[in-house]
């Protein structure tokens, strides 16, 4: 066994996630529109309600390390098949679960209470938020997964341009 394989085995046995590993979860970043009127739509693709209180959304803003955009309040849940909407202050829709100043950056990352990456989307080739290839840019449009929130861990394959919510 290699040294790195042995380290990952020790971390796994200790219950500690390996660094930079995407943790399997039924919560997906389903759709994103940047800006002060933008939003991040999280979707629970699983069959049970999930407690996402204490999880965080981070924004990739051109640097090597993402910045925290929002921490989801204690008691935040997503019912099976339902959505949780984080919106910018200028969002005009009626459903808003958490409001932030604006949806910023060239990508967004969802991390759990332990700080482990759960899902992410990046639309700049250098974004630390991207999974494999960056999603296509969508000026004036939102980036969204398909109806079932398919996730192949390749942003270019998983996200397409769609009209924004509204």
Domains of the chain: 20-162 (2.60.40.1260)
Indicate the pTM of the whole model.
0.84
Give me the pLDDT at residue 20, please. 42
How many angstroms separate the CA atoms of 51 and 86, rounded? Answer: 16
When pLDDT is averaged across residues 104-133 and rounded to a whole number, the result is 95
Q: Please write the tens of the pLDDT for every residue from 26-73.
A: 999 999 999 999 999 999 999 999 999 999 999 999 888 899 999 999
Q: Are strands 83-88 and 98-100 parallel, antiparallel or unpaired?
A: parallel
Q: Cβ contacts of residue 43 below 8 Å, gap of 6+?
A: 27, 28, 30, 78, 81, 82, 83, 84, 145, 149
Q: Determine which helix (DSSP H) or strand (DSSP E) holds 6, and give its type and residue range.
A: helix 3-14
């Amino acid at each position: 066994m290699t040294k790195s394989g042995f380290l990952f085995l020790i971390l796994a046995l200790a219950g500690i996630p390996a660094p930079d590993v995407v943790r399997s979860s039924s919560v997906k970043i389903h759709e994103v529109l940047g800006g002060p009127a933008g939003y991040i739509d999280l979707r629970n693709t699983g069959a049970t309600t999930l407690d996402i209180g204490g999880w965080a959304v981070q924004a990739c803003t051109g640097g090597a390390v993402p910045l925290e955009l929002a921490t989801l309040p204690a008691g935040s849940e997503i019912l099976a098949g339902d959505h949780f909407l984080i919106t910018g202050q200028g969002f005009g829709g009626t459903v808003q679960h958490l409001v932030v100043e604006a949806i910023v950056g060239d990508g967004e990352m969802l991390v759990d209470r332990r700080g482990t990456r759960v899902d992410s989307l990046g639309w700049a080739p250098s974004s630390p938020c991207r999974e494999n290839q960056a999603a296509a840019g969508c000026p004036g449009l939102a980036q969204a997964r398909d109806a079932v929130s398919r996730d192949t861990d390749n942003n270019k394959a998983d996200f397409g341009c769609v009209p924004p919510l509204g």
